[in-house]
Structure 1
Amino acid sequence: MALTQLQLNSLSVAKDIGKAFGLVAGLASYRVSPSVLLLIGSIEGFVGYGVQWLVVSQRIQPLPYWQMCIFLCMGGNSTTWMNTAILVTCIRNFRKNRGPVSGILKGYVGLSTAIFTDICTALFNSDPARFLLMLTVVPFFVCLFAIVFLREIPASSTAAEEKSETRYIGIFNAVAITIAVYLLVFDITGDHGPTLSRVFCIILLLMLASPLLVPVCIAIQNRIGSNEKTLDIESVKTAVTEPLLVHQEETVTETGNVMDEAKEKMQPVIGEEHTVFEALKTIDFWILFVLFLCGVGTGLAVQNNMAQMGLAVGYADVSIFISLTSIWGFFGRIGSGSISEYFIRKAGTPRPLWNAASQILMMVGYVLMAIAMPGSLYIGWIVVGICYGVRLAITVPTASELFGLKYCHTLKIH
């Protein structure tokens, strides 16, 4: 579109600014349901990416540059509404496995870049207009489908429920890793004919749909169990008619009232529920904010310019770098979520430790890119992709553990 490098950078900034307004989605979640958040995000993404498709496909005249910035901002902001609705709902539903759940969800977000890129390459010969059309249509209809099912449910309360929950999450992990390896093999093997490309897409779509078998199997098992065993409703009714605490109001002394009022005014400690303003008063929030800004911010800046970096080094086709960063970023997200959950249970290892380790390794990846030796760009992208994924997956459960789940839809970092 004959844009300068400076104009391209500004468009990338406009997209990132849209994500920065994710706070609006967090505040809206206080008053509307997750389904409404999904609907808002899907419509905003449909408009934002739809206008970009109309311009790139030359179905309308090119818009003024400032208007294009607005529509890129809308496209970026749409993901924050989807992210808020899905991520927070799932973390609340699976509180005992918030690390693995965050890793799976964030992992698929990162993997989606490779999925869309590879499908576009396989079916449409990397046509940018077709690529934007996929971004316009596919998330819109997927969100409309998800609206029917997305809701909060009671968290697991028994050992059997926790064991079953962990087992099914393990199945989701296995499926996700299989998809990532499948994409990686497709990218490494190079050019493919039209027939193999179509077969690749069909198998990929089947693999993406395969997790739907888990809730279907659970529903069938529950239906069979309910048919085999008749529950006597009257037998489970409690015979207790008197409350456990009688005339509680009369037993509270004046001193107790004063102590309760004082407790309400005290700043909650780390690990308890925090409001937004209470979290802003803690040093822990600002440390987490700065670490996220530096770690994820630099990774995002590199990803926004990976095409230019590849061309500068001499690579004609830079799509492989996009896929590599996406796939290895997925491994970083899904691996860090499960590994951090394991060590926090077994040894009490704090999650921020993994953030520190990933930041050190990310610096190594930047150095490998900077020296621009043969092959170093490939290694650098892989290292940065893994570490970038770790930062995204670890930060969300860390914020919920520090400041509670009640307001994490506003406190979580997009």
Structure 2
Amino acid sequence: MALQWLSLVGTIWLQSISSTNSNFPSYSSQLKLLFSLSQLQLNNLAFASDAGKLFGFVSGIAACHLPLWLVLIIGSALGFIGYGVQYLFLVKNKVSTLPYSIVFLLTILAGNSICWINTVSYMIVIQNFPSDRQLALGLSTSYQGLSAKLYSDVVGVIFKPSSSIQTARSYLLLNCILPLVVCLIVSPMIRDIKHTNIRRFSYGFLVIFAITVLTGTYAVITSLGSRKQLIPPRVILIGYVMRAAWMEEMEGWVLNEHGVKDEGVLNEHGVKDEGVFVSCDIEEMRVDVILTRLNFWLYYFVYMFGATIGMVYLNNLGQIVESRGSSETTSLVSLASSFGFFGRILTCLLDYNASRIKYRVSRPAIIALLMLPMTTSFFLLLNDSSLCLHISTAIIGLCTGAITSISVSTTIELFGTNNFGVNHNIVVTNIPIGSFLFGNMAALLYRQQAATNNGKCMGTKCYQTSFMIWGFLCFLGAFLAIVLHSRSKKTYV
């Protein structure tokens, strides 16, 4: 069982460094100056990072035919090339010689690398923790929410950039190197563990959950505190070591025949002997089938009007903060990242409690509830106060993280596990499409407001209309989620 827990440690490490696109707002303003980009061109780069997901299904196909460790290395190599070439041009001060079209394509390549890493992480957890799938997925994917925070703190502590070009260089170098190094270290842990019995490991997850909450609490506190006191890489590393040590001990916890408390064995129907419900029959569907189902399209637009709009907001956070005359971009990105982490942890808590009752919680219903505070937050942003900006950013980060995390389990429960690698990558194609539509809409509205000020817009009017549109779409997404719940609630009883 030690290898099983070690695989979970590996996926946690991978998820912590996988979302390299989430730190884009931290250096987007600097990149705009260095490449002399318009607001529309900058938004298209944010879209390009998400556009890699349009080809995410390739990683799902590869995972079905190649060893997962090889899929992982391929993914990290794509990111190494995508970010590395951009970094080299910045180092040699030859930014002007790098065509925008090449930067765009390199950004797509880097964005696609994230799909490969995430696909491997999801599949390992699904295969190795069949009876605690949702809980394990929630715990591992929660660390995606800390990616932006982790990268921002490492840049601040190690690189300490003092100029625009140094900031951009630091992030591009870290995006290039860190995923490759971690993937090389973790690749031996990534393997499908063959099971003779399906067992539950509730006490082990409780300890991991407690450590995770402490890590997230520290992240939130330091996001609100002084930057000079931050040494998060060391603290997070200590957390990983503690988890690894605990997981290595978990092998003995399930050996009931040796006199140690057993966490319970599931029968062939996925039910504990005590009668506690933990899973149900799920219809397995191929991608050609799901595309013909109304539930798929409801789910697709729910995701687009919820988590994707949240991501578009976060991608534009650098420009939003700048338009309000503030210089708190990095702290707000860290704040959104930290609350996104807790949003993902929230879904873990729901899954943990749901596994102990006879009726599971409807995930579409949870998504609908999460999208209501998101709607309120977008309208709250119409107020120009710094407090409203911080509160709204925290709520949007939390809800976006929660929806993103719960979407993995939702995809499984709606369409099955056999073709998950391809199915979920088809679902997340809504992210680049939504990023392009909603991001460019915001850029065009920004440019319209900036027409009288040399292309630079200042004040709440810059994004006022965008916030209203995003808010109404988010409310529409909540309604669609309720419809999806009513159509699929039989899955949860």
Find 1:331's aligned residue among 331, 342, 345.
342
Q: Given that residues 273 and 403 in structure 1 are in contact (C-alpha distance below 8 angstroms), is that contact kept between their aligned partners in structure 2?
A: yes
Q: Please say which of residues 56-65 and 80-89 is displaced more in the overlay.
A: 56-65
What secondary structure is seen at the aligned counterpart in 1 of 2:64?
Answer: coil
Task: Calculate the TM-score normalised by the size of structure 1.
Answer: 0.82
Q: Quote the residue 2:461 is aligned against.
A: none
2:224, 2:335 within 8 Å by CA — same for their partners in 1?
Answer: no
SS at structure 1 position matched to 2:382: helix
Find the aligned partners of 2:421 and 2:196 in 1 and give their Cα distance: 21
The C-alpha deviation readout for 1:24-68, integer Å capped at 9, x for no partner, is 111222211211210110110111111122123336554110000
State whether residues 41 and 82 of structure 1, in contact with CA within 8 Å, keep that contact through their aligned partners in structure 2.
yes
User: 1:341 offset after TM fit, Å?
Assistant: 4.7
After superposition, the Cα gap between the structure-2 partners of 1:168 and 1:63, relative to the gap in structure 1 and judged at 3 Å, is same
Give the match for residue 16 of structure 1.
50
Correspondence list, 1:310-325, <5 A: 310-325=321-336
1:397 Cα deviation from its structure 2 partner? 0.6
% identity of equivalent residues: 27
Structure 1 unmatched ranges of 5 or more: 230-268
Letter of the 1:137 counterpart: I
The letter of the residue matching 1:339 is L
Code of the residue aligned with 1:179 in structure 2: it is T
Give the Cα separation in 1 of the matches to 2:67 and 2:299.
28
Contact 2:204/2:247 (8 A) holds in 1:
no
Is 1:120 the counterpart of 2:155? The answer is: yes
364-373 or 348-357, which moves further after superposition?
Answer: 364-373
Tell me which residue corresponds to 2:13.
Answer: none
Aligned match of 2:284: 273
Larger radius of gyration: 1
Cα RMSD for the two superposed structures: 2.5
Which residue does the alignment assign to 2:380?
368
| Alpha-carbon distance in structure 2 between the residues aligned to 1:284 and 1:97 | 25
AA matched with 1:211: R
Cα pair 1:49 1:136 within 8 Å, conserved: yes
User: Which consecutive residues of structure 2, in runs of 5 or more, have no partner in the other structure?
Assistant: 1-33, 162-166, 260-279, 429-493
Given that 2:150 and 2:233 are in contact with CA atoms closer than 8 Å, whether structure 1 keeps it comes out as no
DSSP 3-state at the match of 2:114:
helix
Are residues 1:108 and 2:139 paired? no
Q: Quote the offset at 1:176 in angstroms.
A: 1.9
1:341 and 1:207 map into 2 onto residues whose CA distance is: 21
Report if aligned partners of 1:34, 1:86 keep a CA contact under 8 Å in 2: no
Match of 2:224 among 184, 188, 191: 188
2:209 alignment counterpart: 173
Deviation, 1:395, is 1.1
C-alpha distance 80-200 of structure 1, shift in aligned 2 (>3 A): closer
What amino acid is the match of 1:19? Answer: K
Count of paired positions: 364
From 408, 413, 432, give the equivalent of 1:401. 413
SS at match of 1:371: coil
State the alpha-carbon separation in 1 of the partners of residues 210 and 180 from structure 2.
27
Aligned residue among 242, 253, 269 for 1:210: 242
Q: Report deviation, 1:113.
A: 0.9
Match for residue 145 of structure 1?
185
Match of 1:51 in 2: 85
Rounded to whole Å, the distance in 1 between the matches of 2:378 and 2:122 is 30
With normalisation by structure 2, the TM-score equals: 0.69
Give the letter aligned to residue 128 of structure 2: N
> Does structure 2 conserve the Cα–Cα contact (< 8 Å) formed by 1:344 and 1:350?
no
* AA in 2 matched with 1:103: G
CA distance in 2, matches of 1:155, 1:108: 26
Matches within 5 A, 1:76-115: 76-115=111-150
User: What is the aligned partner in structure 2 of residue 294 from structure 1?
Assistant: 305
TM superposition shift of 1:208: 3.4
Aligned equivalents of 2:323 and 2:157: distance in 1? 26
User: Where does residue 265 of structure 1 map in the other structure?
Assistant: none
User: 1:155 Cα deviation (Å)?
Assistant: 5.3
1:129-167 Cα deviation digits (max 9, x unpaired): 122211111110111122111111245845xx31xx222
In 2, are the aligned partners of 1:92 and 1:155 still within 8 Å (CA)? no
